[in-house]
Structures are given as C-alpha cells and as structure tokens.
Amino acid sequence: MTDIEPDDTVDARGAACPGPLMDLIGAIRGAESGDVVRLLSDNEGSLTDVPEWAEEAGNELLAVEELDDHNAFYVEKA
C-alpha cells in the first residue's frame, strides 16, 4: 500500500488498450504542475505504456500499486 494522496483518480478498469493511457493523458492535460493523478487499470499493456509515456513526457511515475485485479499508477505532473 502507498500513502500517496492523489489529486485526481481515473478509473479505466475494463478499458481496452490504449484507453487507460489516453485517460491518464487526458487527466494530466487538465492537471496543475505538481498534481498527482492515480490511474486504475486492469490492462496488462499499462504496465509498459504508462512508464514509457511518463518518461517521455517528463512526468514522474511515483509508484505502481499491485492490487487484486488491477494496478494503480501514481503519476506526478511535471
């Protein structure tokens, strides 16, 4: 468990690739610098495309929390 408090949560569980990443990008687009967005995704592809995009965009992936049937990604907007 992480104690990071997100400013926004995007629940993309059930969405097919690339839906979760696009939902995260949409939330980051509307966020302020320093805000943390939590993405909930049960898509395996998110485990690779979320870290890749975060690095490309200069945002920080603070943590990936492995839960029962999905993962939670915490991304801080640069």
Partner 1 sequence: MTERVIIVGGGTGGSVLANDLADRLEPELDAGDVEVTLINDGPDHVYKPVWLYVPFGQREPADGRRALDELVDDAVDLRIDRVSAIDTDSQRLRFDGDGPALAYDHLVLATGSTLEPEQIPGLAEGGHDYYSESGSTALRDELLSFTEGELVLSVIGTPHMCPAAPLEFVFMADDWFRERGLREDVEITYTYPIQRVHGNPHIAEWARPIMEERGINVETFFNAESVDPDAETITSMEGTELDYDLLVSIPPHGGVDLIEAAGLGDDGWVDVDKHTLEAEAAENVYALGDTADTGVPNAGSVAHYQAGVVGQRLASEIRDRPATATYDGKTLCFIETGMDAASFVEFDYERPPSPAPPSEKLHWSKLAYNESYWLTARGLL
| From 9, 14, 17, 55, active-site residue | 17
Which positions touch partner 1 (CB under 8 A)?
A: 14-19, 21-22, 25, 28-29, 49, 52-53, 56-58
Instruction: Specify whether the CB–CB gap between 2 and 29 falls below 8 A.
Output: no
Is 17 designated active site? yes
Residue 27: CB minimum distance to partner 1, A: 12
Residue 4: CB minimum distance to partner 1, A: 22
Virtual torsion, Cα 67, 69, 70, 71, nearest 10 deg: 30
CA-only gyration radius of the chain, Å: 11
Specify the residue, 17 or 47, whose C-beta has the smaller distance to partner 1: 17
Helix (H) or strand (E) holding 47: helix 46-57
Catalytic residue positions? Answer: 17
